């Protein structure tokens, strides 16, 4: 016998997690959770008529599940709201937030995840951004950036720009097929436009070197960008610093003294030296000296990806988070490497984050604190 729609209003199921059981209206479960909607429409044994208990696994916590079930029953997050009011906007976020997002993602409670978008604020945005990366919640990830940038009212929101620190100021260079450059001065807490690049660029990279900005590679709206562009903050002007023989795109750039290091990306040789077969995904390290204008092809690792990597400079090396692309391993197998700039050698490192998406690595030098 198949129950009618009205019968579901009175049909209660038991959700069991470990030794705890929770009574929930079946209709509300189906309305709010994609997980339970798919379960009850699948014809699986767990969804058979008269089966009143559903066992949950997947490592969920009881507090997280209770928050999600409370939302399913009331369409509110009363308990979390109360705790946030007690903590205040500028205090550390309660651990319940992570448990809530974990359970909501597992049970695919889309209305709850949508509600969180409207609750991103200064006190919780960084924690929600971290959770968005862990659980692959792109909408929540986007809401974080809109929240941060909305606090800079005169900053023009754009994508794929390069953010660089130069002489105590921040420069947002370009964007997806944009040429404009904006400068942030922390002394007056204000963004303003400075001289634009000669052409809009896509898939380029940039870095600071000796107090100036250098832009290499990518595409203009018509062709490959073969120019090394230099921006001088003092004169607020761009110059074509040098012409390249090799085209690069999607690389990462760092600098030490007068040397710029280009890590990864796609390299395309032009002219008579062009190779008949050029790989699109090889981890390489090149250097360019702005004083001598000398290029060096330093190192290559054909088993590691040169695309979608993240890297940072720390002490004597470039630390790189990439992935293994050998046929014997998964494409998602991450690797953590160090390129030693003094010995020109690779070092394999261990103990790095195994999970997460869109990760960035960075280096920070902390001041020495005298011990009492």
Q: Of the ranges 85-94, 181-190, 231-240, which is most confident?
A: 231-240
Mean pLDDT computed over every residue of the chain: 80
Does 3.30.360.10 match the CATH number of domain 6-149?
no
* Average pLDDT estimate for 18-33: 88
> So what's the pLDDT on residue 224?
93
Domain 162-303, CATH: 2.120.10.80
In the chain, list all ranges with CATH 2.120.10.80: 162-303
Tens-digit pLDDT profile for residues 43-56: 655 555 445 678 87
123: pLDDT strictly greater than 90: no
205: pLDDT strictly greater than 60: yes
Tens-digit pLDDT profile for residues 306-362: 887 889 998 889 998 887 766 554 445 778 889 999 999 998 887 766 555 667 788
More confident residue, 88 or 43: 43
In the chain, list all ranges with CATH 3.30.710.10: 6-149
* Average pLDDT estimate for 75-100: 66
Give the 3-state DSSP-derived string for the chain, with helices as H, strands as E and coil as C: CCCCCHHHHCCEEEEEECCEEEEEEHHHHHHHCHHHHHHHHCCCHHHCCCCCEEECCCCCCHHHHHHHHHHHHHCCCHHHHHHHHHHCCCCCCCCHHHHHHHHHHHCCCHHHHHHHHCCCCCCCHHHHHHHHHHHCCHHHHHHHHHHHHCCCCCCCCCCCCEEEEECCEEEEEEECCEEEEEEEECCCCEEEEECCCCCCEECCEEEEECCEEEEECCECCCCECCEEEEEECCCCEEEEEEECCEEEECCEEEEECCEEEEECCEEEECHHHCCCCCCCCCEEEEEEECCCCEEEEEEEECCECCCCCEEEEECCEEEEEEEECCCCCCCCCEEEEEEECCCCEEEEECCCCCCCCCCCCCCCCCCCCCCC
* Average pLDDT estimate for 365-370: 70
pLDDT band at 159 (very low <50, low <70, confident <90, very high): confident
183: pLDDT strictly greater than 50: yes
More confident residue, 109 or 138: 109
């Amino acid at each position: 016998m198949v129950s009618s729609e009205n019968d579901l209003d009175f049909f209660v199921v038991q959700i069991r997690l470990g030794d705890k059981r929770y009574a929930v209206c079946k209709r509300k479960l189906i309305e709010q959770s994609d997980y339970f909607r798919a379960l009850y429409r699948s014809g699986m044994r767990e969804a058979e008529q008269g089966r009143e208990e559903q066992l949950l696994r997947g490592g969920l916590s009881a507090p997280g599940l209770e928050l999600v079930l409370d939302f399913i029953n009331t369409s509110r997050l009363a308990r979390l709201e109360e705790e946030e009011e007690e903590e205040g906007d500028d205090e550390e976020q309660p651990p319940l937030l992570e448990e809530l997002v974990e359970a909501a993602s597992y049970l695919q409670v889309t209305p709850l995840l949508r509600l969180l978008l409207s609750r991103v604020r200064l006190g919780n945005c960084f924690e929600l951004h971290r959770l968005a990366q862990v659980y692959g919640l792109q909408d929540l990830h986007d809401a974080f950036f809109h929240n941060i940038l909305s606090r800079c009212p005169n900053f023009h929101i754009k994508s794929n720009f390069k953010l660089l620190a130069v002489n105590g100021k921040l420069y947002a260079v370009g964007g997806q097929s944009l040429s404009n450059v904006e400068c942030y001065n922390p002394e007056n807490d204000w963004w303003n436009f400075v001289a634009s690049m000669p052409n809009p660029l896509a898939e380029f990279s940039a870095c600071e070197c000796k107090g100036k900005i250098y832009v290499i590679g990518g595409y203009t709206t018509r062709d490959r960008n073969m120019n090394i562009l230099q921006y001088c903050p003092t004169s607020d002007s761009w110059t074509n610093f040098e012409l390249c023989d090799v085209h690069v795109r999607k690389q990462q750039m760092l600098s030490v003294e007068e040397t710029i290091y280009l890590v990864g990306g796609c390299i395309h040789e032009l002219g008579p030296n062009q190779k008949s077969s050029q790989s699109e995904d090889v981890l390489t390290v090149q250097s360019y000296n702005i004083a001598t204008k000398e290029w060096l092809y330093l190192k290559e690792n054909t088993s590691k990806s040169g695309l979608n990597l993240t890297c940072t400079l720390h002490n004597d090396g470039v630390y790189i988070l990439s992935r293994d692309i050998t046929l014997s391993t998964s494409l998602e197998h991450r690797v953590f490497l160090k390129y030693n700039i003094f010995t020109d050698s690779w070092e394999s490192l261990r103990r790095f984050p195994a999970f997460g998406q869109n990760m960035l690595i960075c280096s920070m030098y902390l001041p020495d604190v005298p011990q009492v």
